[in-house]
Structure 1
Amino acid sequence: MPVPYDPSPTLEHFELVLSLARALASEKDRDRLLERIISEAKRICNAEGGTLYLRTEDDALRFVIVVNDVLGIELKREEELPPDFRAIPLYVDGVPNERNVATYVVHSAESVAIDDVYNAEGFDFSGAKAMDASTGYRTRSCLAIPLIDSQGYVLGVIQLINAREPDGSEAIPFRESDRAVVEALAAQAGIALENQFLLDGQKALLESVIQMIATAIDSKSPYTGGHCERVPELVLELVEEVCKDNSPAFADFHLDEEGWYELRIAAWLHDCGKVVTPIHIMDKATKLETIYDRIELVRTRLALKAREVESEAYRLAALGEITLEEAERRASEAEARLVDAYAFLKHANMGAEFLDEGARMRILALAEERVSVFDEEMALLTKDEVKNLTIERGTLTDEERLIINGHMVDTIKMLESLPFPRSLRRVPEYAGGHHERMDGRGYPRGLFAGDMSIPARAMAIADVFEALTAQDRPYKKGKTLSETMRIMGAMKVNNHLDPDLLDLFVRSGVYRRYAERCLPPELIDEVDEEAILALKPKPFELPPMEERAARWKGFLDEYEELLRNRKLPPPPAS
């Protein structure tokens, strides 16, 4: 049925336009904005139908909305449009296409009113006539109005069909007064659309730049490729489950469209501080690795030591001080001992196992031995090599681990220095909290669970899960799904991860869906979900609120020191 028409005076019509202008300016959803434009234009003219076209970058008009009350057509999404609603080219063989009334309006930037399309000269209405023939409908009057931005660029066209008498009795030509009002509406709509396109364009540009930075960080190291891409995927899926969950822990949490955009930006930027982390530390696969693995230098010195012992033994034999057999024995024993020493040091260098006291003492003993290089005596192992080889667990020294962890200081400082708009003000908090712990023993601020947002805590779970399952780390192999979840269960017990979020991570199946998408089949095994859900975190005491609040104002002492001394030490000299 036709939309009821209110024949209000022109002044009231323009008051309506002003009201609509305010409404259009405040509308943030592009689809709703476009629907509002066409519906209000139809209502003002009491038109049976309307089409809204938008101009494409390759100079064509694409159908966006098609409605007709008489035919019962209401296509308000591009995916709803049938295939025969093809874009109309603005140029044909390089010549402006002015046969179609909508494309003519784009080229002329002026509105066109046609009283009877069957008697119109200069325009091709074969499409409308074909539809009339197939449906029994009768297209009569047409009004096409351009949507123009502040620079005079035509963004699209509103095309209305069949204005009707106020009582809806019959189709009539469009009134000049209605045309003027719709032109005023179109002028406001053009500015609203321009603002929407600018906003969407800025968002797309910002997101592209951020993804470029994340890709650069991943590309910086061949061993962390994809981390900055996979963590957003995980955290967005987990937070989506949070929004759907009705348990007391999450009942009051929800995100609107801007909130999701804010979280997505934060997830892509969660490791942006790694751009300043030295690559020789970030990729340190063995204890002796700097720019290269110094175990080969150690091997060379051990070989020199073996040759030195052999040379001395044969020198003494030549002087008659020992027998040749004794010289051969000494050389052979030295060779065997130093080959065994190299095998031991090579194994210790990997950092795959805990270094016990016996191994540490053996390294210190080897460091006491001397070898002559070009008549200069030097230790078999340098002080820095001893320091690195005696790392108890992993491959990083305390200083290097602090520098690695310091990427969070850089992340927070970098993000807090950016003039984020109000809608993105929480990006630094979301991105900067994924190494904090529930009990305040994380870094770099030492925050407690209740002082962090749900997205920041979800980021921690996503970051840990991705790191444990990753196949591209130089210092470890990717773990099986069951081993990963056992470790995360232990982190729940030890107040490293949020227990409610981890339980939801398990219950919702987010972890398994990710594994099926991203992990090799041999790592996907059965997980004892009930055992993980049954685990309870250890109790801990919260400090006074004043102390907790103070932690937001800076970083922990060691990270403040790191921040004051940003000039990092160069790699140790070989």
Structure 2
Amino acid sequence: MTDLSSCTILLVDDTEANIDVLVEALGQEYDITVAMDGPSALEIVRQSPPDLILLDVMMPGMDGYEVCHILKENPETEGIPVIFLTAMTSPQDKARGFEEGAVDYMVKPFSIIEVKARVHVHLSLLMARRELALQNRMLEMEILHRTRELSETQAVIIESMAGLAETRDTDTGDHVLRARLYVEFLSLKLMDHPRFQHFFAHSPPELIGRAAILHDIGKVGVPDEILLKPGHLTAEEFETIKLHTIFSHAIFSKALSRLEKKQFLSIVDDIAYSHHEKWDGTGYPRGLRGDEIPIPARLMAIADVYDAMISARVYKPAMSHEEAAEYIISQSGKHFDPDVAAAFAEHQNVFRKIASTYGPGSSFGQTLSASAPIDWDTILEDG
């Protein structure tokens, strides 16, 4: 049984005899405060809100209805249960009392036994509501904690898998983390676009960015002599390299078949499997065309091509930002989704800044990880 001995009750009545009777009846069980008029009652509530109020209606100046109305309009006091205790007995009076927000309405002359019983009931209900609210807050905190743990675990797994790819190809590390920035930035710019709203309504940009980190994980299945070849690939070797998209899909489709909630891994699979598809249908591995290509893969296509072009490799020098941007814009509607290419063209200076700030030789890999939130205000400053 709930202990109500610590509960406080405010008695509001302009008749001293009524106050005395109620204090005697309730004072041994509860902490009692008294007010003889409406303004005094409101001031007491402001300074030290009680758990329950027994309120007379007919008082000089401000009547009980007005007091109750003021209390219920204030978010800080609207939850205090009010019981009217009055000589006004008509149905209209009672109806108004409940309309003003009272939880109960008792008439004078009152029965002490009835008053004590109703006070006990409403205080018990109040304590039960508070207990339920406390449990709900604790549950929300636990859910938040579990969600944060899950997010951190997901991030660590992403970083570990990306690290696995990096052990095979040292160019991969910085590239995949820049790819995260490029893709997340494009997502932020396109999330309100009419063609993409439906997708981003359930897939936040941060999620797409994290998924982009694993776009080349399938390269772990490519032989070293091809993956690390210090020169141009033969046609046959290039066909082998192209298999990394198939390898990625094999990894993730098997995992997806065992999951009930698949949102993140589905996006990872879309990116890894389809980021080499082209808008005109000439890409690989499936020759998808136009809107057949998953939206995350269309974002990754631009990010991947841009970063590859501006990065030096053993078999080629780095291109300038201007050369890479010119190529991407020229391939709108051919290699790339026209709307994604347009977003790149409009905000290409941000790509330039990401590349110059977090390019080869920077401390990028030490300052940003898959689990770290991106400070876009800093990145976009002057961008």
TM-score under structure 2 normalisation? Answer: 0.58
Structure-2 change in CA distance of 1:227 and 1:165 (3 Å): same
Compute the displacement of 1:418 (Å): 0.9
Secondary structure at the counterpart of residue 226 of structure 1: helix
Among 271, 275, 285, the alignment partner of 1:444 is 285
In structure 2, the partner of 1:435 is 276
Structure-2 change in CA distance of 1:409 and 1:427 (3 Å): same
Q: Distance in 1 between matches of 2:196 and 2:77?
A: 48
Output aligned runs, 1:411-490, within 5 Å.
Answer: 411-419=248-256, 420=259, 421-424=261-264, 425-471=266-312, 473-490=313-330
Q: Distance in 1 between matches of 2:286 and 2:191?
A: 27
Structure-2 change in CA distance of 1:512 and 1:437 (3 Å): same
Q: Distance in 1 between matches of 2:282 and 2:134?
A: 59
Deviation per CA, 1:258-283: give whole Å up to 9, x if none.
44454234312211112222333222
Compute the displacement of 1:245 (Å): 3.6
- Is 1:138 the counterpart of 2:21? The answer is no
Structure 1 residues without counterparts, runs of 5 or longer = 1-44, 47-113, 117-136, 143-159, 287-394, 522-574
Residue identity (%):
25
Q: Distance in 2 between matches of 1:214 and 1:115?
A: 63
Q: Is the 8 A contact 1:223 1:474 kept in 2?
A: no
Counting strand residues as a fraction of each chain, which structure ranks higher?
1
Structure-2 change in CA distance of 1:238 and 1:260 (3 Å): closer
Q: Is the 8 A contact 2:211 2:271 kept in 1?
A: yes
Q: Distance in 1 between matches of 2:147 and 2:163?
A: 24
Q: Distance in 2 between matches of 1:453 and 1:279?
A: 30
Q: Distance in 1 between matches of 2:134 and 2:345?
A: 52
Q: Distance in 1 between matches of 2:318 and 2:289?
A: 29
- Is 1:203 the counterpart of 2:42? The answer is no
| AA in 2 matched with 1:275 | V
In structure 2, the partner of 1:283 is 228
In structure 2, the partner of 1:236 is 184
Counting helix residues as a fraction of each chain, which structure ranks higher?
2
Deviation per CA, 1:469-520: give whole Å up to 9, x if none.
124x222222111111222234336x2222232122102x1x2112123227
Output aligned runs, 1:181-260, within 5 Å.
Answer: 181-245=129-193, 250=195, 252-256=197-201, 258-260=203-205
Secondary structure at the counterpart of residue 200 of structure 2: coil
Compute the displacement of 1:438 (Å): 1.7
Stretch deviating more after TM superposition (223-232 or 421-430): 421-430
Deviation per CA, 1:12-58: give whole Å up to 9, x if none.
xxxxxxxxxxxxxxxxxxxxxxxxxxxxxxxxx99xxxxxxxxxxxx
Q: Distance in 1 between matches of 2:132 and 2:342?
A: 56
Structure-2 change in CA distance of 1:188 and 1:236 (3 Å): same
Q: Distance in 1 between matches of 2:357 and 2:136?
A: 55
In structure 2, the partner of 1:269 is 214
Q: Distance in 1 between matches of 2:48 and 2:319?
A: 67
Deviation per CA, 1:315-367: give whole Å up to 9, x if none.
xxxxxxxxxxxxxxxxxxxxxxxxxxxxxxxxxxxxxxxxxxxxxxxxxxxxx
Secondary structure at the counterpart of residue 396 of structure 1: coil
Question: Highest Rg: 1 or 2?
Answer: 1
Compute the displacement of 1:416 (Å): 0.8
CA-based RMSD of the aligned residues comes to 3.6
Aligned length: 257
Q: Distance in 1 between matches of 2:193 and 2:81?
A: 52
Structure 2 residues without counterparts, runs of 5 or longer = 1-7, 10-29, 33-45, 52-75, 84-100, 103-118, 359-383
Structure-2 change in CA distance of 1:417 and 1:261 (3 Å): farther
Structure-2 change in CA distance of 1:216 and 1:254 (3 Å): same
In structure 1, the partner of 2:340 is 501
Q: Distance in 1 between matches of 2:212 and 2:357?
A: 24
| AA in 2 matched with 1:239 | S
Compute the displacement of 1:252 (Å): 4.9
Q: Is the 8 A contact 2:181 2:354 kept in 1?
A: no
Output aligned runs, 1:392-403, within 5 Å.
Answer: 395-403=232-240
Q: Distance in 2 between matches of 1:205 and 1:465?
A: 30
Q: Is the 8 A contact 1:259 1:423 kept in 2?
A: no
Q: Distance in 2 between matches of 1:228 and 1:516?
A: 16
Q: Distance in 2 between matches of 1:422 and 1:496?
A: 28
Q: Is the 8 A contact 1:231 1:463 kept in 2?
A: yes
Structure-2 change in CA distance of 1:220 and 1:427 (3 Å): closer
Q: Distance in 1 between matches of 2:221 and 2:131?
A: 55
| AA in 2 matched with 1:466 | D
| AA in 2 matched with 1:477 | P
Q: Is the 8 A contact 2:267 2:296 kept in 1?
A: no
Q: Distance in 1 between matches of 2:48 and 2:79?
A: 10
Compute the displacement of 1:257 (Å): 5.4
Compute the displacement of 1:165 (Å): 5.4
In structure 2, the partner of 1:340 is none
In structure 2, the partner of 1:361 is none
Structure-2 change in CA distance of 1:283 and 1:139 (3 Å): farther
- Is 1:178 the counterpart of 2:126? The answer is yes
Q: Distance in 1 between matches of 2:225 and 2:49?
A: 75
Compute the displacement of 1:427 (Å): 3.4
Q: Distance in 2 between matches of 1:175 and 1:255?
A: 47
Q: Distance in 1 between matches of 2:353 and 2:151?
A: 31
Q: Distance in 2 between matches of 1:502 and 1:441?
A: 17
| AA in 1 matched with 2:331 | M
